[in-house]
Amino acid sequence: MSSIAEVEETLARIQSHKGVKGVLICTKSGSAVRSSLPPAETETYAALITQLALKAASVARTLDPTDDLTFLRIRSRKHEVMVAPDKEYLLVVVQNPDEGEDA
């Protein structure tokens, strides 16, 4: 029912937002599927963010077994990393909010 085109469209829409530094899709085990980041960064982001997201999900589930993690935002001095987890895949967007603000 949903086609590759729809995925592409979603990604394109995300990237059209202000201040987006990169979009990354990876599996829960940490292997990058799609990325607009340079290869080295892709690998580190995929490896580190998946681990953190899994940990966060585990925290949410431990606190309340009926609960689950739906979104994770990491705000750092330079940018914000937004993580949307699903059963098998993670959508990670790195955005520079200040840049968007300035524009």
Q: How far is the CB of 39 from other proteins (least distance, A)?
A: 9
Which residue from 70, 67, 62 is spatially nearest to 87, judged by alpha carbons?
70
Q: Is 41 in the site for other proteins (CB under 8 A)?
A: no
Q: Is 69 in the site for other proteins (CB under 8 A)?
A: no
Residue 10 backbone phi and psi in degrees, to 5: -60, -50
Q: How far apart are CA 45 and CA 76, in angstroms?
A: 14
> How many CB atoms sit inside 10 A of residue 24's CB?
22
In this structure, are residues 31 and 24 in contact, taking their beta carbons and an 8 Å threshold?
A: no
* Near other proteins in 70-99, by CB under 8 A: 70-71, 73, 75, 80, 82, 84, 86-89, 91, 93, 95, 97
Applying CB under 8 A, the residues found at the interface with other proteins are 2-4, 6-7, 10-11, 13-14, 17-20, 25-27, 29-34, 43-44, 46-48, 50-51, 70-71, 73, 75, 80, 82, 84, 86-89, 91, 93, 95, 97, 100-101
